[in-house]
Amino acid sequence: MEIFIITLAAFATAILTFFSGFGLGTILAPVFAIFFPIDLAIALTGVVHFCNNLFKIVLVGRKTDKAVLIRFGIPAIIASFAGAWLLIKITGLPALYQYQIGAHLYTITPVKAIIAFLLITFAILEIVPAFQKVEFDKSKLPLGGVLSGFFGGLSGLQGALRSAFLIRSGLSKEAYIATGVVIACLVDFTRLSVYATRFVSAELHDNLVLVISATLAAIAGAFIGSKLLKKVTLTFIQKLVAIMLIIISLALGIGLI
């Protein structure tokens, strides 16, 4: 059952997030968290996210803005090390609260609480009209890289902050998507190198079929998304993803997933 649910989520989300530049990791990680511990869920999602972005580079990578890539990407890579290291450190902290409904015991851990807070914060920022009018000039790109990379390493939630800076930096739609994909790949590679120790302890080989299925589904979704690129705008997709993130973050924050 988990293979079907996660694969379907990866496919549908990959189509939606091809345009918005964020959402695959933020939506897929909580779905993984239904079946796995949250830290392992983040790591497994990172593998799918990385492989999907490699495929997207093949599709649109030639449109990358190299100047933005350097100014945003290098700070993001450095900061992602710090975020991933912090995730490893807080994973073992004791639960904040536990409660029971019927026969089910629900646990709120520090990791879940932090990720839920980040999810709902980023989601609200995407639908608040005042924030939509904010523009960041290219001098703010290194700051955006630091913030996106750090939270990407900590929770996998690099996309929302990355999009907030890149979409307001004067890039064309094609350059925005391509540059974001390349930066995401760099951050994913960095954080996965830190998560590697978690893979070993969690016996990743036991979940290879699940990861491969989700990756192939995400690639198929990305391919369909590339065919629809000229027919959609970013606004609707971003608002849809934001609403989904709010629902997921609330469920994660109260320990339901």
- pLDDT tens profile 49-107: 888 888 888 888 888 999 989 999 999 999 998 988 888 788 777 888 888 887 777 78
| Structural domains of the chain, count | 1
**Residue 116 · residue 250 · CB < 8 Å:** yes
How far from the centroid of its chain's Cα atoms is residue 157's Cα?
A: 4
Q: pTM for the whole thing?
A: 0.68
What are the pLDDT digits (tens) for 184-207?
888 888 888 877 766 665 556 667
Give the per-residue pLDDT at 146: 92
3-state secondary structure of 97: strand
3-state secondary structure of 2: helix
Give the per-residue pLDDT at 70: 92
What are the pLDDT digits (tens) for 215-251?
888 888 888 877 776 666 656 666 666 676 677 677 7
Q: What is the mean pLDDT of residues 132-145?
A: 75
Q: Find the domain containing 137 and state its range.
A: 2-253
Q: What is the mean pLDDT of residues 104-117?
A: 79
C-alpha 151/C-alpha 171 separation (Å) is 23
Q: Is pLDDT of 35 > 60? A: yes
3-state secondary structure of 106: strand
Task: Tell me how many helices (H) and strands (E) the chain has.
Answer: 11, 2
Provide CB contacts within 8 A for 152, sequence distance 6+.
76, 80, 83, 158, 159, 162, 184, 187, 188, 191
